[in-house]
Each structure stands twice: as C-alpha cells, then as structure tokens.
C-alpha cells in the first residue's frame, strides 16, 4: 500500500472516532493525569494528528490547543508505532530545532510519546509526557505509558460503539415509528400471532372491523366467536382449523382465503386474506401474520355481473323466440329489445372500469355477447357500437383500409360519378381495424353523399405527421357545412338542411366516438374552394 493510501485510511479511522474538537471527558482526562504521575513530570497531553494540525484533546500542567502538524513533536515518527523518548530534546537531532523545544512554543527537554495505534494499524496520535528539565524514563515507566495508551484506545472504541449503538437505536426507533404509522394508515387489516397462536398485532383497520383490539390472553380456539369470523355465507362460524391466521401459522402460507367479519356496528365486511408464517433466520418459528383486504364491493359487483349474465341470457332467449316482422323492426327495437338491452349494456359499461381479473373477463364476455346482438340491429345501433365496442389497437395500414372502403362504396361512388383520390401513400397507425374502417367509410360515404349538385364530386384522403400522432383528412367539394353548425354535427341525430339528401344523424357522432376511443380528436373545417374538410387524429 502506498503512502497516500495509508494516510487516507489513517485519516478515515481518526474521523470515524469523531474525537477532534470534542470534549475529552472525565475518563480520558484521568488517564492523562495518571500518565503525568507515572512519568513524574508536570505536563502531559493527549495529541491527535489530523491532516494539517495537532489537536491537544486534553492536557495536564498547561493549557492545550491546536498547532500545525509540521510543528508537532509527536507527528515526527508516530506512524511507525514506536515509543519515542528523549532525555533532553534540545540535544536530540530529531527534536532540537522543533519550536516546542527552541522556546518558540515551549522549552521541552524530557520527552516521551506513546503512539495511539488502532488494531488495524492506524496511528491516531500519541499520549505525550514532557518536562522543561532534562530527565529519564525507566523501562517500567515506558511500559506503563504504553499500557495507558492502550486504555485510551479502549476508551476511544467504547465511545465509538456507544455512539453507533445510539444511532442504531434511533434508526430502529424511527423505523418502528414508520412501521407503526404505516400499519395505522393503510386500509388493509394486519393481524399477527406469536408462535403459540396468541395475538400480538392488530392495526387500525383490524380494530375498526372487529370492534376490538388484540387480546393476547385469548385462546386461539375462541378467535371466531370473539372476533365474529364467519364463512362467506355470513351465517356459519369458522372452525379454528379454517381461520386463515391459524392456517398460516400451521401450514406456512395462506392465499386469498375469504371470510365474513360481522361487525358489532355497521354492515358485515367481506375480506380476502393472505399471509404466511414468520420464521427467524435460524429457522425458529416466530408466529404468523396475515393481511385482510375488504372485497365487499368487489363481491357485490361479482353478484351483479352474475345477475346481468342471467338477464342477458333471458334477453337472448326472448330474441330467439321473437319473430317480429322486418317492417316493424325499428318499433321492435325501440319497445321489445332496446329497453332491456340498453339496461344490460349500461350496467356492464358501469362495471367495466371497476373490475379486474376474472370479473373483468366475465364483463368482457358479456360485452361481446351484447355486441353480437347489436350487429343484428344494423345502422340504428351504429352509434352505440362505435362507443361501446372494445378497442383492440394493432398496426393498421390505412392504405389497405381505404382500398376496402372504396370497394364497399363502389356502387355509391360510381352512381355519383365521384372521384376519390389518395395523392400519397397512407401510413400505418395504431388502431382497431374494424372501427377505423367504419370511421373512414362514414367520412368518405358522407363526402360522396353530400356532394354539390353543380360540380363533379371530388374526394381526397391525405395524412400528415404530427409530433405524436397522425392527422388524417378527408376533403370534398360538396355542399359544405355552415360554420355555426360545425360543432353540433357531431351530436347524435343532428341533421342539416341538405335538400333531398336524407340521413339518420348518426354517422358523424359515430366518428366522434370512434376517435375519442382511440384517444384522438376530430373537427370540421371549410375546404378552400368549397366543401368540407374533416380531420381526425390517432395518437401513436
């Protein structure tokens, strides 16, 4: 190890003890007094050597202070760990020019220095005894001074350990406060037992649900009756072997075990419980802990979904029995089918964003069934389909989609002698291909449908790149939309005065819902030269 690294390590060890510029304390002062007595000198000091100075931590016979490290007698060879001794420093080549000898700082003659070296070999300073008269130290005195240096190091270490213990205690106390605050804040009930099954922990949520605190004297066989723990039927008390906390203690783990807590005040709480046994590092059992989550609302929603499925099944059965005349289909939709179907779909729509897991799959299955029924209804349900059909974004080639739309609208385009052009290749976007196709078919179909009677119909489809989306524009030279009507055309059943052209007022509102569901926006502008420009954006 080079000298620079040794000095770095030595300073790190010195600062770890946090002694510099701190009170020495009674014990260290007593040791320095004993050192002066052992050496039979009037003066002694405990010196610590840091980067640039000698710090006299405590002294006997004179007022101590700090001095430059370069002026220190103790710093001359203290790092070697040897006891330094000079009967008359004024005659010793190592010390005779030192300001502590020459009279600049003092007139030291007899000098003895026991280095303070840690078990890791780091020299922190020295225990120094001296006199202004020449003298001697015998071997016994030197050995005792070395012993006292060892005692000083022991006191240093004890102070360091005491400080570390205080810091650990404070850290442990802070961690315990944090844990207690967490347990009292969360809305999950946390309950623990020791290795014998006796209760040790009830957090706030557990106390509120049970109406009681943890009773460590209660025998585990009385848990169910005392804390009102029931099967999910809410009627049958749980036997001890089925109580999740005791199962975790006995079996090692428990997951998603459900039970009912019949509170003393308020409605019952349906909870899902998971936990595990607590095992010490050496394998010794310490107890068990469980966390209970309130799933009352989730289970109510689950029951509602089951009810909705039964209602939907009944509606399907009713539809199969129905053989209404197609000429009265709109009336049948309004009176016999749409009312119960809207109720079922609305109920599922409310549940869709509030359930997860298996419940979400059930909702999705119900929604798919509703969508299949809506496909039978046709254009009258287009608006609802655009707003409620699940969106499954995948890479969609707009060029292919426009080609399919033009093929579907071929009869309309040909009968109107319309020209639909795509000046540049269209990009691929992230969207639901069915809904994007419906969107473009509505927009291109409207552009042809609402053509101007006095000029050939021309429709253009273009795309422009925005920072995080694509903007698609369908422009025409048709009859146009008055500026004051351009917002309300997206409202359901809005129809403008377009002469002989009839419509249901559903198309643009369906477009708006499709774009909304993709997270984009849509707006209408005037096309230069006459007509309409409808632009929608689809985020990346």
Question: Which CATH number is 207's domain given?
Answer: 3.30.450.20
Predicted pLDDT of residue 388:
56
Band the pLDDT of 291: cuts 50, 70, 90: very high
Predicted pLDDT of residue 375:
43
> Reduced to 3 DSSP states, what percent helix, strand and coil does the chain have, rounded to the nearest 5?
45, 20, 30
Instruction: Measure the CA–CA gap between 134 and 501, rounded to whole angstroms.
Output: 126
Using DSSP's 3-state secondary structure scheme, residue 514 falls into: helix
Band the pLDDT of 379: cuts 50, 70, 90: very low
What average pLDDT is seen over the chain?
85
305, two tokens: 């979904």
Q: Which helix (H) or strand (E) holds 168?
A: helix 139-185
Measuring CA to CA, which residue among 485, 490, 482, 498 is closest to residue 522?
Answer: 490
Distance set, CA 69 to CA 54, 76, 78, 142, 479 (Å)? 5, 9, 12, 24, 96
385, two tokens: 């389909």
Final residue belonging to a domain, choices 388, 405, 437: 388
Measuring CA to CA, which residue among 122, 111, 123, 134 is closest to residue 45?
Answer: 111
Q: 524 forms bridges with which residues in the sheet?
A: 534
Percent of the chain with pLDDT over 70: 88
Same domain, 97 and 224: no
Q: Flag whether 178 is in a domain.
A: no
Q: Which helix (H) or strand (E) holds 526?
A: strand 522-526
425, two tokens: 């290749």
Q: Flag whether 170 is in a domain.
A: no
Count CA within 13 A, CB hemisphere, residue 479. 13
Instruction: Measure the CA–CA gap between 124 and 48, rounded to whole angstroms.
Output: 6
How does strand 253-261 pair with strand 189-194? unpaired
Q: Flag whether 445 is in a domain.
A: yes
Band the pLDDT of 41: cuts 50, 70, 90: very high
Greater confidence (92 vs 366) lies with: 92
Greater confidence (337 vs 228) lies with: 228
Band the pLDDT of 326: cuts 50, 70, 90: very low
Distance set, CA 323 to CA 326, 342, 379 (Å)? 9, 20, 20
How does strand 428-431 pair with strand 419-421? unpaired
Predicted pLDDT of residue 307:
87
Measuring CA to CA, which residue among 493, 510, 380 is closest to residue 441?
Answer: 510
Distance set, CA 387 to CA 339, 383, 510 (Å)? 18, 6, 7
Q: Which helix (H) or strand (E) holds 292?
A: strand 285-294
Neighbours of 28 (CB within 10 A): 20
pLDDT (tens digit per residue) in 162-215 = 888 888 888 877 787 887 787 788 889 899 999 999 999 999 989 989 988 989
The separation between CA 77 and the C-alpha centre of its own chain, rounded to angstroms, equals 56
Same domain, 372 and 471: no
Same domain, 15 and 130: yes
Band the pLDDT of 377: cuts 50, 70, 90: low
Instruction: Measure the CA–CA gap between 193 and 202, rounded to whole angstroms.
Output: 10
Q: Flag whether 167 is in a domain.
A: no
Instruction: Measure the CA–CA gap between 522 and 228, rounded to whole angstroms.
Output: 57
Domain containing residue 243: 186-294
Tell me if 44 sits within 8 A of 59, measured CB to CB: yes
Q: Which helix (H) or strand (E) holds 374?
A: helix 357-377
The separation between CA 519 and the C-alpha centre of its own chain, rounded to angstroms, equals 26
Q: Could you tell me the CATH number of the domain that includes residue 476?
A: 3.30.565.10
Final residue belonging to a domain, choices 358, 388, 418: 388
Final residue belonging to a domain, choices 337, 367, 388: 388
Tell me if 448 sits within 8 A of 503, measured CB to CB: no
Same domain, 285 and 313: no
Predicted pLDDT of residue 482:
86
Burial (CB < 10 A; 0-12, 13-18, 19+), residue 11, is: middle
Greater confidence (417 vs 496) lies with: 417
Same domain, 356 and 239: no
Instruction: Measure the CA–CA gap between 280 and 287, rounded to whole angstroms.
Output: 10
The structural domain count of the chain equals: 4
Q: Flag whether 66 is in a domain.
A: yes
Instruction: Measure the CA–CA gap between 244 and 249, rounded to whole angstroms.
Output: 9
Same domain, 24 and 153: yes
Q: What pTM was computed for the model?
A: 0.42
Contacts of 454 (CB under 8 A, 6+ apart): none
Q: Flag whether 168 is in a domain.
A: no
Same domain, 122 and 20: yes
Band the pLDDT of 323: cuts 50, 70, 90: very low
Overall average pLDDT of the 501-517 stretch:
75
Same domain, 210 and 274: yes
Q: 340 forms bridges with which residues in the sheet?
A: none
Band the pLDDT of 476: cuts 50, 70, 90: very high
If you search the block for the tokens 């579907």, which residue do you land on?
A: 408
Band the pLDDT of 504: cuts 50, 70, 90: low
Band the pLDDT of 328: cuts 50, 70, 90: very low
Count CA within 13 A, CB hemisphere, residue 362. 19
Q: DSSP letter at 521?
A: -
Question: Per-residue pLDDT for 289 more than 70?
Answer: yes
Band the pLDDT of 343: cuts 50, 70, 90: low
Predicted pLDDT of residue 329:
45
Instruction: Measure the CA–CA gap between 46 and 249, rounded to whole angstroms.
Output: 59
């Amino acid at each position: 190890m080079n000298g620079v690294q040794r000095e770095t390590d030595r300073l790190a060890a010195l600062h770890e003890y946090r002694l510099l510029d701190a009170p020495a304390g009674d014990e260290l002062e007593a040791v320095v007094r004993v050192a002066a007595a052992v050496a039979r000198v009037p003066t002694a000091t405990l010196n610590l050597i840091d980067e640039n100075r000698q710090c006299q931590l405590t002294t006997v016979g004179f007022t101590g202070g700090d001095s430059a490290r370069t002026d220190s007698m103790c710093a001359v060879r203290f790092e070697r760990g040897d006891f330094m001794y000079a009967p008359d420093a004024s005659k010793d080549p190592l010390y005779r020019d030192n300001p502590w000898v020459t009279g600049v700082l003092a007139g030291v003659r007899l000098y003895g220095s026991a280095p303070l070296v840690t078990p890791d070999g780091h020299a922190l300073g020295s225990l120094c005894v001296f006199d202004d008269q020449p003298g001697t130290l015998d071997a016994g005195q030197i050995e005792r001074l070395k012993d006292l240096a060892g005692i000083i190091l022991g006191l240093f270490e004890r102070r360091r350990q005491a400080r570390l213990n205080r810091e650990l205690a404070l850290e442990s106390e802070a961690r315990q406060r944090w844990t207690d605050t967490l347990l009292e804040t969360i809305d999950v009930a946390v309950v623990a037992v020791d290795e014998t099954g006796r209760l040790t922990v009830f957090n706030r949520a557990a106390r509120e649900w049970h109406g009681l605190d943890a009773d460590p004297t209660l025998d585990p066989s009385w848990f169910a009756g005392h804390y009102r723990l029931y099967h999910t039927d809410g009627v049958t008390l749980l036997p001890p072997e089925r109580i999740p906390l005791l199962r975790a203690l006995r079996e090692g783990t428990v997951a998603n075990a459900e039970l009912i807590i019949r509170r003393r005040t308020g409605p019952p709480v349906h909870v899902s419980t998971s936990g595990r046994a607590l095992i010490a590092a050496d394998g010794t059992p310490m107890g068990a802990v469980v966390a209970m989550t309130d799933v009352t609302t989730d289970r109510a929603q689950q029951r509602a979904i089951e009810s909705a499925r039964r209602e939907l099944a009944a509606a399907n059965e009713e539809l199969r029995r129905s053989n209404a005349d197609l000429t009265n289909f709109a009336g049948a939709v309004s009176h016999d089918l749409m009312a119960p179907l809207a109720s079922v779909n609305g109920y599922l729509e409310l549940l869709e964003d509030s359930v997860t897991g298996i419940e979400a799959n059930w909702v999705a299955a119900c929604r798919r069934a509703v969508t299949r029924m809506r496909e039978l209804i046709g254009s009258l349900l287009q608006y609802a389909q655009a707003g409620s059909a699940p969106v499954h974004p995948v890479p969609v080639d707009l060029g292919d989609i426009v080609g399919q739309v033009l093929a579907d609208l071929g009869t309309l385009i040909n009968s109107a002698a319309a020209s639909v052009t795509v000046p540049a290749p269209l990009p691929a976007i992230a969207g639901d291909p069915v809904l994007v196709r419906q969107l473009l078919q509505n927009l291109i179909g409207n552009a042809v449908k609402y053509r101007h009677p006095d000029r050939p119909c021309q429709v253009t489809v273009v795309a422009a790149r925005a920072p995080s989306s694509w903007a698609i524009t369908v422009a025409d030279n048709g009859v146009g939309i008055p500026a004051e009507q351009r917002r309300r055309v997206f409202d359901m059943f809005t129809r403008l005065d377009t002469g002989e052209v009839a419509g249901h007022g559903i198309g643009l509102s369906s477009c708006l819902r499709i774009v909304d569901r993709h997270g984009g926006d849509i707006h209408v502008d005037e096309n230069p030269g006459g007509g309409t420009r409808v632009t929608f954006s689809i985020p990346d």
